[in-house]
Structures are given as structure tokens and as C-alpha cells.
A and B are shown apart, each in its own frame.
Chain A
Amino acid sequence: EVQLVESGGDLVQPGGSLRLSCAASGFTFSSYAMNWVRQAPGKGLEWVSGISGSGGNTYHADSVKGRFTISRDNAKNTLYLQVSSLRADDTAVYYCAKAPGYCSGATCYWYFDLWGRGTLVTVSS
């Protein structure tokens, strides 16, 4: 079955860290870029980070640069998001998403054709 399953979300104190995981199955994982998109409670979608199929190129939203790191293990068909220096406004459901398409120069022609169910990160003292 083609699917993405996120895990690792938790309640964490401000300033804390977590590692989110996304297990992929049913498709050739290494052939696709992968992304993280988050959604704060009652709010819209916000792109967080993206990574090329090889893992050689990564992209992060300005709001998380220096605090979040995206990575992947193609041997394990798993995507990761290391989140640190967490703030209250990082509270959200974090979705991983498969992204067909490609990047050329500074532009990525991505769309998200497969999404996981999400994992909830709550930042609170």
C-alpha cells in the first residue's frame, strides 16, 4: 500500500527538541523529494522544509531556519525532521508529503501528491 506514516510528535517544553519521523511504503522512496508541512490548530497550511530525493539538497522556511533540520535515510525509506529551540508558535500537526517534480536552480517545481495523517507537536510549559 502506498502510504506515509508520521511519528514522534509529543508535548515538549519551550526550548526543547524532538525528532519527527515519516515512514514511507509502496513507492520508490529515493526517487522523490519529500517535504514537511505543518498546520497550527484552526489555521492554514504552512510549508516547513523540503529535501531532494538523494538528500543532497535541502530547503527550509525562514521561520524555522537554524532550528529545524530535514534529512532522510533512503535505505530505511524514512524522512526525518529534527526540531529544536521549540516555541509556542511551533505547535501544530506536522504532515510529511511526497513531492513529484524537480528543482532547477533556485526554483522547485513541486506539488504534494501523497500526505501522511500527521503527528501533533505541542509546545507548552
Chain B
Amino acid sequence: QSVLTQPPSVSAAPGQKVTISCSGSSSNIGNNYVSWYQQLPGTAPKLLIYDNNKRPSGIPDRFSGSKSDTSATLGITGLQTGDEADYYCGTWDSRLSAVVFGGGTKLTVL
């Protein structure tokens, strides 16, 4: 049981838009920055979004992040088959004094 709650899977057609939610509480998302990671099959995770909505250099603007209260959302537009991956949200939990991750969301591009 993860501290942060993500849907197990989402799907959409190529070219469409998808959003992935990440729900937490006041001890984590509500008072800390959220980051998002993409893990392609068989590879290490890769940073997509940090500080709720900032993209590292090299990450296309098709990827976006937002946060409201105790929830965060990752948005992906112009879906490509290469976007098929597992996506994780993460943040610091002040009550646990630990980094916490969501359980991950598997994106399928139909």
C-alpha cells in the first residue's frame, strides 16, 4: 500500500492526451514539491517533472505537471507509442521523514 495513490493503468490513442493523478495528504503533497518519473521497460527511472511543474532540460513540453492541495497531475499530450511506460510520482513525507512514491501507473498507447 503506497502512501501516494495513482491509478494502476491508463490508456489512450496516439496523438491524444492523457492525465495521471497522484493523491496524497497534507504531510506529503500538501506541503512539499512533487516530482514525476518515467520508467521505460527494462530501464532505470528518468526524471520528467520536478518542483511540481518544471521540466528538466531535454524533456519535451508535451509533458506537464500541476499540483492542487493534496493532489498532483501529470499530463502528456500528443501521445506516442514510445511513451508507453510506467510513471511514478514522488515527494517528501514530513510525518514519515521519508521520500514516498506512488504505486506507479502503466500507460498504454493503443
Contact = CB atoms under 8 A, between A and B. Distances in A.
Interface size class of A (residues with CB under 8 A): 20 to 34
A116 B99 contact: no
Contacts of B88: 44-45
Contacts of B31: 107
Nearest to B47: A113
Interface in A81-119: 95, 100, 106-118
Contacts, number: 67
B97 to A, nearest CB: 6
A59 interface: yes
A111 B33 contact: yes
Interface in B81-110: 86, 88, 90, 92, 94, 96-104
B45 A115 contact: yes
Interface of B: 2, 31-33, 35, 37, 39, 43-47, 50-51, 56, 86, 88, 90, 92, 94, 96-104
Interface of A: 35, 37, 44-47, 50, 59, 61-62, 95, 100, 106-118
